[in-house]
Structure 1
Amino acid sequence: MKALILKTFPTVATGPVGDAMASSFRSHILRLEPDCEVDTCSLADDEAVPDPLSYDLVVFTGGTFDLLSPEPHPAWVARARGVVQAVAGDGQGKTKLLGICWGHQVIHLALDGQLGVLEEGPRIGVEQLQLTPDGAQFFGKDSLRLHKFHKRQVKSPAGGFVALAPDNEILFSASHRLLSFQSHPELSSEISQGLLDGDTKGFYREKAKPNPNVVVRDIHSEHDGAYVWAKILDWVRS
Protein backbone atom coordinates (compact mmCIF):
# COMPACT_ATOMS: atom_id res chain seq x y z
CA MET A 1 0.00 0.00 0.00
CA LYS A 2 1.10 3.56 -0.74
CA ALA A 3 -0.30 6.60 1.07
CA LEU A 4 0.20 10.32 0.52
CA ILE A 5 -0.44 12.82 3.32
CA LEU A 6 -1.09 16.33 1.99
CA LYS A 7 -0.40 18.85 4.74
CA THR A 8 -2.76 21.80 4.30
CA PHE A 9 -1.34 23.91 7.10
CA PRO A 10 1.88 25.98 6.86
CA THR A 11 4.82 24.42 8.70
CA VAL A 12 6.27 27.67 10.07
CA ALA A 13 2.93 28.92 11.41
CA THR A 14 2.00 25.70 13.20
CA GLY A 15 5.43 24.63 14.52
CA PRO A 16 5.63 21.59 16.83
CA VAL A 17 1.86 21.09 16.99
CA GLY A 18 1.76 20.86 13.20
CA ASP A 19 4.55 18.29 13.32
CA ALA A 20 2.54 16.32 15.88
CA MET A 21 -0.54 16.37 13.66
CA ALA A 22 1.38 15.14 10.62
CA SER A 23 3.04 12.45 12.75
CA SER A 24 -0.34 11.30 14.05
CA PHE A 25 -1.66 10.65 10.54
CA ARG A 26 1.45 8.67 9.69
CA SER A 27 1.41 6.71 12.96
CA HIS A 28 -2.22 5.64 12.59
CA ILE A 29 -1.63 4.40 9.05
CA LEU A 30 1.56 2.50 9.96
CA ARG A 31 -0.02 1.02 13.08
CA LEU A 32 -2.56 -0.69 10.84
CA GLU A 33 -0.39 -1.20 7.73
CA PRO A 34 3.23 -1.53 8.93
CA ASP A 35 4.57 -2.04 5.41
CA CYS A 36 2.76 0.94 3.93
CA GLU A 37 4.92 3.44 2.03
CA VAL A 38 3.84 6.81 3.47
CA ASP A 39 4.86 10.04 1.75
CA THR A 40 4.17 13.53 3.09
CA CYS A 41 3.81 16.66 0.96
CA SER A 42 3.61 20.15 2.52
CA LEU A 43 1.00 21.44 0.10
CA ALA A 44 0.47 24.68 2.03
CA ASP A 45 4.22 25.36 1.77
CA ASP A 46 3.98 25.10 -2.04
CA GLU A 47 5.74 21.75 -2.30
CA ALA A 48 5.14 19.99 -5.61
CA VAL A 49 2.40 17.37 -5.36
CA PRO A 50 3.23 13.85 -6.56
CA ASP A 51 0.77 12.17 -8.91
CA PRO A 52 -2.16 11.39 -6.57
CA LEU A 53 -3.36 8.57 -8.80
CA SER A 54 -0.18 6.61 -8.08
CA TYR A 55 -1.30 6.12 -4.45
CA ASP A 56 -3.82 3.84 -2.79
CA LEU A 57 -4.72 6.55 -0.27
CA VAL A 58 -4.44 10.32 -0.41
CA VAL A 59 -5.19 12.26 2.79
CA PHE A 60 -5.99 15.95 3.14
CA THR A 61 -5.23 17.12 6.69
CA GLY A 62 -6.95 19.90 8.58
CA GLY A 63 -5.82 23.43 7.84
CA THR A 64 -6.24 27.10 8.65
CA PHE A 65 -6.86 28.85 5.33
CA ASP A 66 -10.40 30.27 5.10
CA LEU A 67 -11.98 28.72 2.02
CA LEU A 68 -14.82 31.26 2.32
CA SER A 69 -12.43 34.20 1.97
CA PRO A 70 -13.43 36.64 -0.81
CA GLU A 71 -9.74 37.35 -1.41
CA PRO A 72 -7.96 35.40 -4.18
CA HIS A 73 -7.01 31.96 -2.92
CA PRO A 74 -3.31 30.99 -3.02
CA ALA A 75 -2.14 28.72 -5.80
CA TRP A 76 -1.77 25.73 -3.49
CA VAL A 77 -5.52 25.77 -2.78
CA ALA A 78 -6.18 25.49 -6.51
CA ARG A 79 -3.80 22.53 -6.58
CA ALA A 80 -5.72 20.94 -3.71
CA ARG A 81 -8.95 21.29 -5.66
CA GLY A 82 -7.20 19.77 -8.65
CA VAL A 83 -6.25 16.71 -6.61
CA VAL A 84 -9.89 16.25 -5.60
CA GLN A 85 -11.09 16.55 -9.18
CA ALA A 86 -8.41 14.17 -10.45
CA VAL A 87 -9.35 11.43 -7.98
CA ALA A 88 -13.11 11.97 -8.34
CA GLY A 89 -12.85 11.96 -12.12
CA ASP A 90 -10.78 8.78 -12.36
CA GLY A 91 -13.67 6.37 -12.72
CA GLN A 92 -11.57 3.22 -13.04
CA GLY A 93 -8.93 4.18 -10.49
CA LYS A 94 -7.89 2.55 -7.23
CA THR A 95 -7.05 5.77 -5.34
CA LYS A 96 -9.11 6.54 -2.23
CA LEU A 97 -9.30 10.16 -1.03
CA LEU A 98 -9.76 10.99 2.66
CA GLY A 99 -10.50 14.53 3.82
CA ILE A 100 -10.25 15.66 7.44
CA CYS A 101 -11.82 18.99 8.56
CA TRP A 102 -10.31 21.46 6.04
CA GLY A 103 -9.85 18.47 3.75
CA HIS A 104 -13.55 17.61 4.17
CA GLN A 105 -14.44 21.14 3.14
CA VAL A 106 -12.11 21.40 0.14
CA ILE A 107 -13.40 18.12 -1.29
CA HIS A 108 -16.94 19.46 -1.40
CA LEU A 109 -15.96 22.93 -2.54
CA ALA A 110 -13.98 21.41 -5.42
CA LEU A 111 -17.02 19.36 -6.47
CA ASP A 112 -19.52 22.26 -6.32
CA GLY A 113 -20.72 21.83 -2.76
CA GLN A 114 -21.23 24.84 -0.47
CA LEU A 115 -19.54 25.84 2.78
CA GLY A 116 -20.71 28.05 5.63
CA VAL A 117 -19.72 29.37 9.04
CA LEU A 118 -21.05 27.57 12.11
CA GLU A 119 -23.90 29.72 13.39
CA GLU A 120 -23.41 28.54 16.97
CA GLY A 121 -19.72 29.39 16.96
CA PRO A 122 -16.50 27.34 16.86
CA ARG A 123 -16.54 23.82 18.22
CA ILE A 124 -13.73 22.15 20.17
CA GLY A 125 -13.37 18.91 22.08
CA VAL A 126 -14.79 15.40 21.95
CA GLU A 127 -18.38 15.17 20.73
CA GLN A 128 -20.66 12.20 20.28
CA LEU A 129 -21.92 11.89 16.70
CA GLN A 130 -25.01 9.81 16.02
CA LEU A 131 -24.67 7.91 12.76
CA THR A 132 -27.18 7.43 9.98
CA PRO A 133 -28.16 3.87 9.02
CA ASP A 134 -25.51 4.01 6.27
CA GLY A 135 -22.99 5.27 8.82
CA ALA A 136 -23.86 2.53 11.30
CA GLN A 137 -23.30 -0.06 8.57
CA PHE A 138 -19.96 1.48 7.57
CA PHE A 139 -18.57 1.87 11.10
CA GLY A 140 -20.26 -1.06 12.83
CA LYS A 141 -21.78 1.03 15.63
CA ASP A 142 -24.55 3.61 16.08
CA SER A 143 -22.43 6.55 17.23
CA LEU A 144 -18.85 7.79 17.40
CA ARG A 145 -17.00 10.01 19.83
CA LEU A 146 -14.52 12.19 17.96
CA HIS A 147 -12.48 15.34 18.43
CA LYS A 148 -13.82 18.55 16.87
CA PHE A 149 -11.84 21.69 16.12
CA HIS A 150 -13.55 23.87 13.54
CA LYS A 151 -15.60 27.00 12.85
CA ARG A 152 -16.72 26.32 9.28
CA GLN A 153 -18.73 23.45 7.84
CA VAL A 154 -20.10 21.85 4.68
CA LYS A 155 -23.55 23.38 4.26
CA SER A 156 -24.47 21.55 1.04
CA PRO A 157 -22.43 18.50 0.02
CA ALA A 158 -21.34 17.77 -3.51
CA GLY A 159 -23.69 15.66 -5.57
CA GLY A 160 -23.54 11.91 -5.21
CA PHE A 161 -22.45 11.82 -1.56
CA VAL A 162 -24.22 9.88 1.19
CA ALA A 163 -24.33 11.21 4.76
CA LEU A 164 -22.87 8.79 7.30
CA ALA A 165 -23.69 11.25 10.11
CA PRO A 166 -26.21 14.13 10.31
CA ASP A 167 -25.34 17.75 9.46
CA ASN A 168 -22.86 16.64 6.78
CA GLU A 169 -20.41 15.58 9.49
CA ILE A 170 -19.23 12.48 7.60
CA LEU A 171 -19.79 12.10 3.86
CA PHE A 172 -19.13 9.16 1.54
CA SER A 173 -19.18 9.27 -2.24
CA ALA A 174 -21.40 7.01 -4.32
CA SER A 175 -18.21 5.74 -5.97
CA HIS A 176 -17.00 4.62 -2.51
CA ARG A 177 -13.64 6.30 -3.21
CA LEU A 178 -14.02 9.63 -1.37
CA LEU A 179 -14.62 9.81 2.38
CA SER A 180 -14.55 12.95 4.50
CA PHE A 181 -14.94 13.92 8.15
CA GLN A 182 -15.56 17.33 9.68
CA SER A 183 -14.20 15.85 12.90
CA HIS A 184 -10.62 14.80 13.64
CA PRO A 185 -9.95 11.08 14.22
CA GLU A 186 -6.21 11.90 14.30
CA LEU A 187 -6.37 14.37 17.20
CA SER A 188 -5.34 13.71 20.79
CA SER A 189 -5.84 15.84 23.89
CA GLU A 190 -2.20 16.97 23.64
CA ILE A 191 -2.57 18.13 20.03
CA SER A 192 -5.87 19.86 20.80
CA GLN A 193 -4.25 21.68 23.71
CA GLY A 194 -1.38 22.73 21.46
CA LEU A 195 -3.85 24.15 18.94
CA LEU A 196 -5.59 26.08 21.70
CA ASP A 197 -2.30 27.40 23.05
CA GLY A 198 -1.43 28.66 19.57
CA ASP A 199 -4.75 30.45 19.13
CA THR A 200 -3.41 34.01 19.38
CA LYS A 201 -6.30 35.49 17.39
CA GLY A 202 -8.96 34.32 19.80
CA PHE A 203 -10.95 32.17 17.43
CA TYR A 204 -11.35 29.36 19.92
CA ARG A 205 -10.59 30.59 23.42
CA GLU A 206 -12.08 33.46 25.34
CA LYS A 207 -8.92 34.54 27.17
CA ALA A 208 -7.24 35.52 23.88
CA LYS A 209 -10.27 37.51 22.74
CA PRO A 210 -13.86 37.44 24.02
CA ASN A 211 -15.78 34.84 22.07
CA PRO A 212 -18.95 33.97 23.99
CA ASN A 213 -20.19 31.67 21.23
CA VAL A 214 -17.34 29.17 21.35
CA VAL A 215 -18.56 25.65 22.10
CA VAL A 216 -15.92 23.80 24.12
CA ARG A 217 -16.16 20.22 25.31
CA ASP A 218 -13.59 18.23 27.24
CA ILE A 219 -10.55 17.56 25.05
CA HIS A 220 -9.46 14.83 27.49
CA SER A 221 -12.54 12.61 27.04
CA GLU A 222 -12.28 9.11 25.63
CA HIS A 223 -12.75 9.03 21.86
CA ASP A 224 -13.01 6.61 18.95
CA GLY A 225 -10.14 7.92 16.84
CA ALA A 226 -8.18 4.65 16.74
CA TYR A 227 -11.35 2.68 16.00
CA VAL A 228 -12.22 5.00 13.12
CA TRP A 229 -8.74 4.68 11.63
CA ALA A 230 -9.17 0.91 11.59
CA LYS A 231 -12.39 1.36 9.61
CA ILE A 232 -10.67 3.83 7.28
CA LEU A 233 -7.92 1.33 6.48
CA ASP A 234 -10.51 -1.41 5.94
CA TRP A 235 -12.11 0.91 3.38
CA VAL A 236 -8.78 1.59 1.66
CA ARG A 237 -8.14 -2.15 1.35
CA SER A 238 -11.61 -2.85 -0.06
Structure 2
Amino acid sequence: MQPPLRIAVLECDTPLPAVNARYNNEGYYGVFKTLLKSSAENLGNSRLDPDTGLQITKWDVIDAQEYPRLEDVDAVLLTGSKHNSFEDIPWINRLVEFTQQVLAQNRVRILGICFGHQIVGRALGAKVGRSDQGWEIAVCDMDLTEKGKELFGLEKLRVQQMHQDVVHNCPSGVTLLGHSPRCAVQGMYAPRRFVTVQGHPEFTREIEDVIIQSRAKAGVLSEDQAQEALARTGNEHDGVSIGATFLKFLLEG
Protein backbone atom coordinates (compact mmCIF):
# COMPACT_ATOMS: atom_id res chain seq x y z
CA MET A 1 0.00 0.00 0.00
CA GLN A 2 1.49 3.32 -1.07
CA PRO A 3 1.73 6.19 1.43
CA PRO A 4 -0.87 8.95 1.13
CA LEU A 5 -0.31 11.92 -1.14
CA ARG A 6 0.61 14.85 1.12
CA ILE A 7 -0.98 17.97 -0.38
CA ALA A 8 -0.57 21.39 1.25
CA VAL A 9 -3.41 23.77 0.40
CA LEU A 10 -2.07 27.32 0.50
CA GLU A 11 -5.18 29.38 1.24
CA CYS A 12 -4.96 32.67 -0.64
CA ASP A 13 -8.45 33.86 0.33
CA THR A 14 -11.43 33.04 2.54
CA PRO A 15 -14.76 31.98 0.98
CA LEU A 16 -17.78 34.19 1.44
CA PRO A 17 -19.69 33.25 4.63
CA ALA A 18 -22.54 31.51 2.81
CA VAL A 19 -20.03 29.32 0.97
CA ASN A 20 -17.80 28.72 3.98
CA ALA A 21 -20.76 27.47 6.03
CA ARG A 22 -21.42 24.75 3.43
CA TYR A 23 -17.89 23.43 3.94
CA ASN A 24 -17.89 23.32 7.75
CA ASN A 25 -16.21 26.72 7.91
CA GLU A 26 -12.97 25.08 6.75
CA GLY A 27 -12.22 27.72 4.12
CA TYR A 28 -10.91 26.85 0.68
CA TYR A 29 -9.12 23.92 2.30
CA GLY A 30 -12.60 22.42 2.80
CA VAL A 31 -13.64 23.20 -0.77
CA PHE A 32 -10.53 21.59 -2.24
CA LYS A 33 -10.68 18.63 0.13
CA THR A 34 -14.15 17.93 -1.26
CA LEU A 35 -12.97 18.24 -4.87
CA LEU A 36 -9.90 16.06 -4.38
CA LYS A 37 -11.84 13.32 -2.60
CA SER A 38 -14.43 13.28 -5.41
CA SER A 39 -11.61 13.23 -7.93
CA ALA A 40 -9.97 10.28 -6.18
CA GLU A 41 -13.30 8.44 -6.35
CA ASN A 42 -13.36 9.24 -10.06
CA LEU A 43 -9.96 7.57 -10.46
CA GLY A 44 -11.06 4.43 -8.65
CA ASN A 45 -9.60 2.76 -5.55
CA SER A 46 -6.95 0.95 -7.59
CA ARG A 47 -5.21 4.27 -8.16
CA LEU A 48 -5.86 6.23 -4.97
CA ASP A 49 -8.12 5.44 -2.02
CA PRO A 50 -10.37 8.48 -1.42
CA ASP A 51 -10.37 7.93 2.35
CA THR A 52 -6.78 6.93 3.08
CA GLY A 53 -4.84 8.05 0.01
CA LEU A 54 -4.92 11.79 0.66
CA GLN A 55 -3.31 13.76 3.48
CA ILE A 56 -4.43 17.36 2.96
CA THR A 57 -3.26 20.21 5.16
CA LYS A 58 -4.19 23.90 5.22
CA TRP A 59 -1.84 26.88 5.37
CA ASP A 60 -2.81 30.50 5.90
CA VAL A 61 -0.44 32.44 3.64
CA ILE A 62 -2.19 35.81 4.10
CA ASP A 63 -2.45 36.58 7.82
CA ALA A 64 -0.21 33.95 9.40
CA GLN A 65 2.06 33.73 6.33
CA GLU A 66 2.73 30.13 7.26
CA TYR A 67 4.18 27.59 4.85
CA PRO A 68 4.92 23.86 4.94
CA ARG A 69 8.43 22.46 4.97
CA LEU A 70 9.01 20.97 1.53
CA GLU A 71 10.32 17.72 3.03
CA ASP A 72 6.91 17.22 4.69
CA VAL A 73 4.75 17.45 1.53
CA ASP A 74 4.50 16.01 -1.97
CA ALA A 75 2.60 18.90 -3.52
CA VAL A 76 1.43 22.43 -2.85
CA LEU A 77 -1.88 23.73 -4.17
CA LEU A 78 -2.26 27.49 -4.61
CA THR A 79 -5.92 28.49 -4.42
CA GLY A 80 -7.85 31.23 -6.14
CA SER A 81 -8.29 34.64 -4.55
CA LYS A 82 -10.09 37.96 -4.84
CA HIS A 83 -6.67 39.64 -4.50
CA ASN A 84 -4.53 40.77 -7.42
CA SER A 85 -1.66 38.44 -8.29
CA PHE A 86 0.40 41.35 -9.62
CA GLU A 87 0.34 43.43 -6.43
CA ASP A 88 3.59 44.35 -4.69
CA ILE A 89 2.55 43.64 -1.11
CA PRO A 90 4.33 41.52 1.54
CA TRP A 91 2.19 38.38 1.63
CA ILE A 92 1.94 38.11 -2.16
CA ASN A 93 5.66 38.74 -2.59
CA ARG A 94 6.35 36.02 0.00
CA LEU A 95 4.05 33.64 -1.88
CA VAL A 96 5.90 34.32 -5.13
CA GLU A 97 9.22 33.67 -3.37
CA PHE A 98 7.96 30.40 -1.89
CA THR A 99 6.65 29.32 -5.30
CA GLN A 100 10.07 30.02 -6.79
CA GLN A 101 11.63 27.86 -4.06
CA VAL A 102 9.33 24.98 -5.00
CA LEU A 103 10.11 25.48 -8.69
CA ALA A 104 13.84 25.38 -7.93
CA GLN A 105 13.67 21.75 -6.72
CA ASN A 106 12.40 18.64 -8.49
CA ARG A 107 10.34 16.60 -6.01
CA VAL A 108 7.45 18.68 -4.67
CA ARG A 109 4.93 19.52 -7.39
CA ILE A 110 2.60 22.50 -7.78
CA LEU A 111 -1.09 22.80 -8.60
CA GLY A 112 -2.18 26.35 -9.38
CA ILE A 113 -5.81 27.49 -9.65
CA CYS A 114 -6.85 30.95 -10.97
CA PHE A 115 -4.88 33.35 -8.72
CA GLY A 116 -2.54 30.42 -8.03
CA HIS A 117 -2.09 29.89 -11.78
CA GLN A 118 -1.14 33.55 -12.08
CA ILE A 119 1.29 33.34 -9.14
CA VAL A 120 3.09 30.45 -10.85
CA GLY A 121 3.25 32.54 -14.03
CA ARG A 122 4.64 35.51 -12.10
CA ALA A 123 7.19 33.29 -10.32
CA LEU A 124 8.40 32.18 -13.75
CA GLY A 125 8.78 35.77 -14.97
CA ALA A 126 5.59 36.06 -17.04
CA LYS A 127 3.56 39.27 -17.07
CA VAL A 128 0.36 39.04 -15.04
CA GLY A 129 -2.33 41.68 -14.83
CA ARG A 130 -5.76 42.85 -15.94
CA SER A 131 -7.17 41.40 -19.13
CA ASP A 132 -8.26 43.82 -21.83
CA GLN A 133 -11.14 41.40 -22.47
CA GLY A 134 -12.79 42.03 -19.10
CA TRP A 135 -14.37 39.41 -16.87
CA GLU A 136 -14.66 35.73 -17.76
CA ILE A 137 -17.40 34.23 -15.58
CA ALA A 138 -19.40 31.01 -15.05
CA VAL A 139 -19.03 27.84 -17.14
CA CYS A 140 -16.95 28.57 -20.23
CA ASP A 141 -15.26 26.46 -22.88
CA MET A 142 -11.49 26.08 -22.76
CA ASP A 143 -9.97 25.08 -26.10
CA LEU A 144 -7.14 22.63 -25.49
CA THR A 145 -3.76 22.35 -27.14
CA GLU A 146 -2.56 18.91 -28.20
CA LYS A 147 -0.81 18.51 -24.85
CA GLY A 148 -3.95 19.71 -23.08
CA LYS A 149 -6.03 17.07 -24.87
CA GLU A 150 -3.51 14.39 -23.93
CA LEU A 151 -3.29 15.48 -20.30
CA PHE A 152 -7.01 15.92 -19.62
CA GLY A 153 -8.17 13.15 -21.96
CA LEU A 154 -10.77 15.45 -23.54
CA GLU A 155 -11.10 17.46 -26.73
CA LYS A 156 -12.32 20.55 -24.85
CA LEU A 157 -12.77 21.53 -21.21
CA ARG A 158 -15.76 23.21 -19.63
CA VAL A 159 -14.85 24.93 -16.40
CA GLN A 160 -16.27 27.50 -13.99
CA GLN A 161 -14.48 30.85 -14.36
CA MET A 162 -14.29 33.96 -12.18
CA HIS A 163 -11.46 36.29 -13.19
CA GLN A 164 -10.46 39.51 -14.85
CA ASP A 165 -6.69 39.00 -14.38
CA VAL A 166 -4.60 36.78 -16.63
CA VAL A 167 -1.15 35.45 -17.37
CA HIS A 168 -0.38 37.47 -20.50
CA ASN A 169 2.22 35.12 -21.98
CA CYS A 170 3.27 31.53 -21.49
CA PRO A 171 6.75 31.51 -19.91
CA SER A 172 9.70 30.09 -21.84
CA GLY A 173 10.02 26.32 -21.54
CA VAL A 174 6.43 25.94 -20.30
CA THR A 175 3.75 24.06 -22.25
CA LEU A 176 0.46 25.88 -22.91
CA LEU A 177 -2.55 23.67 -22.12
CA GLY A 178 -5.38 25.77 -23.50
CA HIS A 179 -6.95 29.10 -24.31
CA SER A 180 -10.31 30.81 -24.64
CA PRO A 181 -11.56 33.91 -26.48
CA ARG A 182 -11.04 35.98 -23.31
CA CYS A 183 -7.83 34.38 -22.05
CA ALA A 184 -4.81 33.27 -24.10
CA VAL A 185 -3.20 31.29 -21.26
CA GLN A 186 -5.83 29.05 -19.67
CA GLY A 187 -3.40 26.47 -18.35
CA MET A 188 0.31 25.72 -18.04
CA TYR A 189 2.29 22.52 -17.64
CA ALA A 190 5.80 21.33 -16.98
CA PRO A 191 6.39 17.58 -16.56
CA ARG A 192 6.77 16.48 -12.94
CA ARG A 193 6.79 20.14 -11.87
CA PHE A 194 3.38 21.80 -12.16
CA VAL A 195 -0.08 21.92 -13.69
CA THR A 196 -2.12 25.13 -13.55
CA VAL A 197 -5.54 26.24 -14.76
CA GLN A 198 -7.09 29.69 -14.91
CA GLY A 199 -10.55 28.28 -14.19
CA HIS A 200 -12.02 26.94 -10.95
CA PRO A 201 -12.54 23.16 -11.02
CA GLU A 202 -13.46 23.36 -7.31
CA PHE A 203 -16.42 25.70 -7.89
CA THR A 204 -19.94 24.33 -7.87
CA ARG A 205 -22.98 26.16 -9.20
CA GLU A 206 -23.81 27.19 -5.62
CA ILE A 207 -20.36 28.71 -5.01
CA GLU A 208 -20.38 30.54 -8.32
CA ASP A 209 -23.91 31.90 -7.77
CA VAL A 210 -23.01 33.34 -4.35
CA ILE A 211 -19.90 35.06 -5.71
CA ILE A 212 -21.69 36.51 -8.73
CA GLN A 213 -24.57 37.82 -6.64
CA SER A 214 -22.18 39.32 -4.08
CA ARG A 215 -20.11 41.08 -6.74
CA ALA A 216 -23.19 42.36 -8.51
CA LYS A 217 -24.51 43.77 -5.24
CA ALA A 218 -21.16 45.50 -4.66
CA GLY A 219 -21.21 46.98 -8.15
CA VAL A 220 -18.18 45.00 -9.32
CA LEU A 221 -20.32 43.28 -11.95
CA SER A 222 -23.15 44.96 -13.84
CA GLU A 223 -26.65 43.52 -13.58
CA ASP A 224 -26.45 42.40 -17.22
CA GLN A 225 -23.11 40.65 -16.61
CA ALA A 226 -24.49 38.94 -13.53
CA GLN A 227 -27.69 37.71 -15.17
CA GLU A 228 -25.90 36.43 -18.25
CA ALA A 229 -23.40 34.55 -16.05
CA LEU A 230 -26.05 33.17 -13.67
CA ALA A 231 -27.76 31.60 -16.67
CA ARG A 232 -24.63 29.48 -17.27
CA THR A 233 -23.45 28.51 -13.77
CA GLY A 234 -25.55 25.35 -13.84
CA ASN A 235 -24.12 24.11 -17.14
CA GLU A 236 -22.28 20.81 -17.05
CA HIS A 237 -18.56 21.23 -16.36
CA ASP A 238 -15.43 19.11 -15.98
CA GLY A 239 -14.34 20.09 -12.47
CA VAL A 240 -13.99 16.56 -11.10
CA SER A 241 -12.26 15.41 -14.28
CA ILE A 242 -9.73 18.24 -13.89
CA GLY A 243 -9.22 17.24 -10.26
CA ALA A 244 -8.60 13.64 -11.37
CA THR A 245 -5.99 14.90 -13.83
CA PHE A 246 -4.30 16.78 -10.99
CA LEU A 247 -4.12 13.59 -8.93
CA LYS A 248 -2.81 11.48 -11.83
CA PHE A 249 -0.13 14.14 -12.37
CA LEU A 250 0.89 13.89 -8.71
CA LEU A 251 0.95 10.08 -8.82
CA GLU A 252 3.05 9.68 -11.95
CA GLY A 253 6.73 8.88 -11.55
* TM-score after normalising by structure 1: 0.87
**SS, match of residue 168 in structure 1:** strand
Q: Distance in 2 between matches of 1:27 and 1:60?
A: 16
Q: Distance in 1 between matches of 2:204 and 2:226?
A: 23
Alpha-carbon offset, residue 140 of structure 1: 1.1
Distance of aligned partners of 1:201 and 1:159 in 2 relative to their CA distance in 1, 3 Å threshold: farther
Q: Which one of the candidate residues 1, 14, 33 is aligned to 1:26?
A: 33
Q: Which residue of 1 aligns with 2:43?
A: none
**SS, match of residue 51 in structure 2:** coil
Q: Which residue of 1 aligns with 2:209?
A: 193
Alpha-carbon offset, residue 84 of structure 1: 1.1
Indicate conservation of the 8 Å contact 1:62/1:102, yes or no.
Answer: yes
State the identity as a percent: 23
Query: What RMSD, in angstroms, separates the aligned Cα atoms of the two structures?
Result: 2.2
Q: Which one of the candidate residues 75, 79, 85 is aligned to 2:100?
A: 85
Alpha-carbon offset, residue 227 of structure 1: 1.1
**SS, match of residue 80 in structure 2:** strand
Within-5 A mapping of 1:1-238: 1-9=5-13, 11=14, 14-18=16-20, 20=23, 21-31=28-38, 32=40, 33-35=50-52, 36-69=54-87, 72-73=88-89, 75-91=90-106, 93=107, 95-166=108-179, 167-173=184-190, 175-199=191-215, 200-203=217-220, 205-207=221-223, 216=229, 218-238=232-252
Indicate conservation of the 8 Å contact 2:85/2:129, yes or no.
Answer: no
Quick one: which amino acid aligns to residue 15 of structure 1? P
Distance of aligned partners of 1:37 and 1:142 in 2 relative to their CA distance in 1, 3 Å threshold: same
Indicate conservation of the 8 Å contact 2:99/2:120, yes or no.
Answer: yes
Indicate conservation of the 8 Å contact 2:129/2:165, yes or no.
Answer: yes
Distance of aligned partners of 1:111 and 1:214 in 2 relative to their CA distance in 1, 3 Å threshold: farther
